Amino acid sequence: MLASRYAVHLTDVTKQYGEGPDAVLALDKVSAGIESGTFTAVMGPSGSGKSTFLHCAAGLDRPTSGEVRLGDQELSALRERRLTELRRTRIGFVFQAFNLLPSLTVEQNIVLPLRLAGQQPDDTWLRHIVDAVDLGGRLTRFPAQLSGGQQQRVAIARALVTRPEVIFADEPTGALDPETARDILILLRQAVTDLHQTVVMVTHDPVAAAHTDQVLFLNAGRVVDGMVGPGADRIAEVMAGLRRAV
Ligand SMILES: Nc1ncnc2c1ncn2[C@@H]1O[C@H](COP(=O)(O)OP(=O)(O)OP(=O)(O)O)[C@@H](O)[C@H]1O
């Protein structure tokens, strides 16, 4: 069988929360392929299903029906333990709230996914990513001693440390001022361009999405539009149209 050119692929993914009259269809037969080595933004109005998309694509949540593939691995075929292992070793995560462990140093936070997987860090790779996120002088500090932007750089290094097949970022610049947000977006862009990573980012911000290669637009649980290499103005126009359509 040919290896998939997609890092992650969703086919007819439906996610329903609850049952009966209170049921919410958060994703409605969503199909999308994310090619390896690309930076993708997922956008849409509040409640359109962006976080649900990210959680299903990343194996954090199971779809009600449909298929999610990471490379050639179908996720629904995996039992919980294997799925946890896969998330730890083949997927990286970056969250709005950084989610660093306060009692661990910067270096200990960065290598945590490897330690949890019982692996030793590769020193050359570790130095490379620490340089890339510009944290060389702060490895022995604790998260509380860092600015928000520095904490997010630690979280990005932690996501990169296992050389995952995909990094999923949920509003990674949502808690940052515009200038710091720009630095973080440039860093995610470098992870794709220089380190050949694949990044999928949920964002509300057209300026953030303009750093990506392609944008998927969700509305009411469906993929309603897609753009390759758009500028912020064009993205904002599509978003305004979606808001009016709700
Ligand atoms: N655990 C849950 N239980 C019930 N309904 C849920 C749950 N999680 C999400 N939903 C509903 O599913 C729909 C999609 O939610 P989701 O969080 O994916 O949207 P979103 O586009 O990420 O929204 P936002 O931009 O506001 O974060 C919404 O109607 C939401 O209320």
What pLDDT was estimated at residue 58?
A: 96
The answer to whether residue 65 is domain-embedded is: no
> Could you give phi then psi for residue 74, rounded to 5 degrees?
-80, 125
Ligand 1 pocket residue status of 19, Cβ below 6 Å: no
The answer to whether residue 75 is domain-embedded is: no
Q: What is the pLDDT along the chain (246 residues), one digit of tens a residue?
A: 455 689 999 999 999 999 999 999 999 999 999 999 999 999 999 999 999 999 999 999 999 999 999 999 999 889 999 999 999 899 999 999 989 999 999 999 999 999 998 999 899 999 999 998 999 899 999 999 999 999 999 999 999 999 999 999 999 999 889 999 999 999 999 999 998 999 999 999 999 999 999 999 999 999 998 999 889 999 999 999 987 765
Domain span at residue 215 reads: 36-59+85-245
Find the Cα–Cα–Cα–Cα dihedral 3, 50, 185, 152, rounded to 10°.
-100
Between the CA of 103 and the centroid of ligand 1 the distance, in Å, is: 32
The answer to whether residue 165 is domain-embedded is: yes
Q: Could you tell me the pTM of the whole model?
A: 0.93
Q: Which two tokens stand for residue 39?
A: 């930076």
Ligand 1 pocket residue status of 51, Cβ below 6 Å: yes
Ligand 1 pocket residue status of 55, Cβ below 6 Å: no
Contact between 171 and 96 under an 8 Å Cβ cutoff? The reply is yes
Between the CA of 51 and the centroid of ligand 1 the distance, in Å, is: 7
Between CA 122 and CA 130 the distance in angstroms is 12
Ligand 1 pocket residue status of 149, Cβ below 6 Å: no
Nearest residue (by CA) to ligand 1, atom 11, is 26
What pLDDT was estimated at residue 168?
A: 97
> Could you give phi then psi for residue 196, rounded to 5 degrees?
60, 35
Q: Which two tokens stand for residue 170?
A: 């949920």
What pLDDT was estimated at residue 229?
A: 87
Nearest to 174 by CA among 210, 151, 208: 208
What pLDDT was estimated at residue 245?
A: 66
Please count the structural domains in the chain: 1
DSSP string covering 32-96: EEEETT-EEEEE-STTSSHHHHHHHHTTSS--SEEEEEETTEEGGGS-HHHHHHHHHHHEEEEET
What pLDDT was estimated at residue 230?
A: 82
Enumerate the β-bridge partners of residue 39. Answer: 199
- Neighbour count for residue 176 (Cβ, 10 Å): 21
- Model confidence pLDDT, tens digit, residues 69-128: 999 999 988 999 999 999 989 999 999 998 999 999 999 999 999 999 899 989 999 999
The answer to whether residue 70 is domain-embedded is: no
Enumerate the β-bridge partners of residue 192. Answer: none
Between the CA of 47 and the centroid of ligand 1 the distance, in Å, is: 5
The answer to whether residue 188 is domain-embedded is: yes
Ligand 1 pocket residue status of 48, Cβ below 6 Å: yes
The answer to whether residue 18 is domain-embedded is: no
- The CATH number given to whatever domain includes residue 145 is 3.40.50.300
